[in-house]
A and B are shown apart, each in its own frame.
Chain A
Amino acid sequence: MSASNNQKEVSFKILELKGISRRKFIKYCAATAAVFGLDYYFGSHFAEATTAVIGKKPVIWIQGQGCTGCSCSLLSSINPGPAEILLDLVSMRFNSTIMNAAGHLSAEVLADTVEQEGYLLVVEGSIPTGDPRYCFVEGIGFDELLAKTAKNAAAVIAAGSCSAYGGIPRAGFTGAKGVAELVTDKPVINIPGCPFKPDWLVGTLMYYLNFNELPPLDELKRPRAYFGNHFIHDTCPRVAYFEKGQFLTDWNNPDTVNWCLLKMGCKGPVTHSDCNRIWFNDGANSCIRSGSPCAGCVEPQFYKDLSPLYVSPLAPDGPQLDPVSNQTGGIDPGSAALGAGIVAAPFLVSKVAELLNKKKEGEAKHGE
């Protein structure tokens, strides 16, 4: 048996000990390959690259204005589990949440890795551009740390909506920005989400490790496989109720639990992701599945330009009214009564109007 085979065996052995069979792991890899539109046989190829012990890709993971939720989301991955990700998939040189070292020891590891070049830089959290004192790491502003670590990176992954587009901090006063606004001379991949779904990051990593290039991205630098191809609304299990004009307005009513969430403020019509097809936490659940309107957390407009989150973009009597024909007619009186200013985001209202018009046209055609 060759040395590399030996190492592969050891690697699988540890997977098996934790209840993950080699077959199950290859199956996961195959599923990831399929998402990217690759042949099924790439699954075992992925698995091989993923479990190669020697020459693992070094990763530096830095955090700016974040909540550590994206690090935790990665650690919430179940298949592959966090142990495989941390020990088999990559060489995690710097990640302040899990690394053993601290202080000068961790700073040295960081400096050494930067010097070696060719690592992947993962950024969690936004970058305050208003004043560097909003986020200091090792005595320097986070913007400076980002510039320093991006300089020798092979590619930069903006993990989570804060680092992709500024996210929630962008709604505040620190001048919070996303990575791609500041790093312009390196390939940047955005994996938005609040937090990102672990499959999105792990799948992207696997693609990159295999082909040594970025996966196909949409115009917002997100992997097309996960974000580019679908509106939440189009793949929604509740879309038939939208078509029928049946909207949930009371979470207690057992007869309406599966109805469309648009009147609760759902951002599905303006949000791109595969959340309806592949749920969170190892397939446990998803926002829409659990009766919560989509907040649009993967979009650049999140949160500032999608707020309010729970206000209907529809007219009072449902879909028969056309929001386009009358600007104020498109606003639910419930929300209009909310005092000045709290109405659904215009961005959402116009997109819903477009959907309703298309639906009307479709119905008219069908009637002919």
Chain B
Amino acid sequence: MANKIVIDPVTRIEGHLKVEAEIANGIVSDARLVGTMFRGMEQLVVGKDPRDVPYVVERVCGVCAGVHGWASCMALEEAHGATVPEMGRVLRNLMMGALWLHDHILHFYHLAALDYIDPTAVLAYTGSVPELVAVKDKIKSLADAGDLHPVLPSYKPDDFCVRDPELVTQLVYHYLQALEIQAKGRKASAIFAGKQPHHSTMVVGGVTSFPTLGQVEQFRRILNEVIAFARHTYIPDAVLLATGPLAPLEKASVGATAGHYLSYGGYPLDQSGGKLLFPSGVIFNNNFSEVQSFDPAAIREEVDYSWYKDEARPGHPSERVTDVNLDKTKGYSFVKAPRYQGKPMEVGPLARMLVMQPAPFMELMETLQVTRPGAVMRHAARAVDTLVMADAVQDWVSELIALIGETGVYGSGGNAAIHDTAHWEPPFEGIGQGLNEAPRGALGHWITISDKKVKRYQMVVPTTWNASPQDEAGQKGPIEEALIGAPVADPENPINILRIIRSFDPCLACAIHLIHPKGSSVISLNPLC
């Protein structure tokens, strides 16, 4: 007999999400993801000075803070005809790279790890490592006071939960350390970005501030601390869990999608923009040996099961304007259904690593004999993604120092440039597309400028891809697909559902933007992210 369960809210993600699942014979037989919050970020920039847009749409999301401002700048730069000078490019890579490290560490420990451990095992720790004894004392004092919020309450730990007191205490210690490390990642980014969350220095055409050598040194020092934690703590923890206690989850392909992956590519390594740290590419049907080239024109959006009026089918995001219909009976989410060559695509670290195929990741795939990667592999991919970024950020620091020397930043006779001032004024007409990789995956912004003002603005963000509903052909979105088949022995304890959802690191504030009420239930909306 099928049992329907609803989890609302899904916590430890960004934003508002509800999941409805049907359980039959101990496994998920059907699932729906429902996004439940709207603001209207795209609509409210229409008619504004285009230069405001990066500042405003940056605020779509404060977790991956930075990526929307960047993608927006890229779209505007195409429309303005602006070119970011070399030092501007390197500074952007640095401020966003530091944030990348922050983001993955935060996700692993603070958003995801509690799904895989029984935190009360700390109380049974009998070792004598001073740090771990202190963790135990702390947790015990909180437990004695009857107040272990926000660590408890939790779902009942299942068979996959790590209960070994030594390992759990170590992970809880790392959780506490990581709280401080992720704050330091933000701080490093703020050295070049002005502040975090929500940088202030990235503007159309470049950045607003030359770094001082003191700042470069401060950045490097903090960054090294974050990288050391990533290398010596986070990555070993992720690999340990993936290859140890969680290997059975991965072997069972829990959380696997239909196997279609997409990366737009991101982080320019040269001025032409042709060489990227993360390459673009597409994979179908888990066929990892065949990475196809990516064509932005092949993106289409569908709305059959989304709360939008049906319209001429399906369109490219840069061209569509849509009307919302809250009363559409078939609809069950405000997230739209973007498809690539008609397929639902997973985006994010797993897609990025499968397209890029760095050696440590492919070795891990080999070791675990993975053919259909699932939730555990998603965490492992995120760890390797961190490793790739850690190496790159260190290279960019050296590149920045070399540029400072070459360009004579601090003297009047220097030729250093961080901003394309000649193209700062908005054009009368223009269109632009900004495609990039955010920590959560492929991110696209599209702008149309008319009469020096924003005429139209669109975003399709990673979580729109991952958390999309069904399409016309009846194909479910990647997260929905990943949920089907998940073992849920006890409907009262649907921890596997949450593990799978969180492995995608969804960001719902990104995925849903509002729209216009006009006093009735019908509101006019931009194609959604």
Contacts and interface: CB of A to CB of B under 8 A. Distances in A.
A128 B65 CA distance: 23
A198 B510 CA distance: 23
B285 interface: no
Interface stretch (A228-236, A336-344, A357-365): A336-344
A103 B514 contact: no
B60 interface: yes
B417 interface: yes
Interface stretch (A207-215, A218-226, A305-313): A305-313
B194 A342 contact: no
A87 B208 CA distance: 38
Interface in A64-87: 64-73, 75-78, 81-83, 86-87
Interface residues of A, number: 101
A54 B146 CA distance: 9
Given A168-B44, A169-B39, A291 B201 contact: yes
B37 A72 contact: no
Contact of B196 (A137, A281, A289): A281
Contact of B195 (A56, A67, A280, A340): A280
23 contacts: A10-B137, A10-B138, A14-B138, A18-B180, A54-B145, A54-B147, A69-B62, A69-B65, A78-B180, A83-B179, A105-B155, A131-B517, A134-B517, A195-B62, A251-B206, A252-B416, A254-B414, A284-B187, A285-B193, A292-B201, A292-B203, A303-B52, A307-B52
Interface of B: 6-12, 14-16, 18, 36-41, 43-44, 47-49, 51-52, 55-56, 59-63, 65, 85, 106, 110-111, 114, 119, 131, 134-135, 137-138, 141-142, 145, 147, 149-155, 176-177, 179-180, 182-184, 186-188, 190-198, 200-201, 203, 206-210, 218, 326, 409-412, 414, 416-419, 421, 425-426, 428, 451-453, 494, 498, 509, 514-518, 521, 523
Given A54-B145, A105-B154, A251 B419 contact: yes
Contacts of A76: 182-183, 186-187, 196-197
- Chain B binding site: helix, strand, loop or mixed by DSSP? loop
Interface string A93-127: 10111111111111011000000000000000010
A7 interface: yes
A34 interface: no
Interface of A: 7, 10-11, 13-14, 17-19, 53-54, 56, 58, 63-73, 75-78, 81-83, 86-87, 91-93, 95-106, 108-109, 126, 128, 130-131, 133-139, 168-169, 171-176, 194-195, 250-252, 254-255, 257, 279-282, 284-287, 289-292, 295, 303, 307-311, 334, 338-342
Given A14-B138, A168-B56, A98 B41 contact: no
A131 B193 CA distance: 36
Contacts of B201: 290-292
Contact of B421 (A92, A251, A308): A251
B190 A281 contact: yes
Given A96-B9, A100-B150, A338-B452, A65 B142 contact: no
A128 B52 CA distance: 23
A67 B180 contact: no
A13 B137 contact: yes
Contacts of A72: 62-63, 65, 186, 197
A280 B137 CA distance: 33
Contacts of A135: 16, 36-38
A338 B10 contact: no
B96 to A, nearest CB: 15
A290 B193 contact: yes
B11 A101 contact: yes
A101 B186 contact: no
A105 B8 CA distance: 10
Contacts of A68: 14-15, 61-63, 509
Given A10-B137, A105-B155, 5 more contacts: A14-B134, A81-B179, A109-B149, A128-B38, A174-B517
Contacts of B414: 254
A286 B451 CA distance: 33
B61 A67 contact: yes
Given A68-B15, A78-B187, A290 B38 contact: no
Contacts of B8: 103, 137-139
Contact of B114 (A100, A137, A295): A100
A292 B119 CA distance: 44
B197 A69 contact: yes
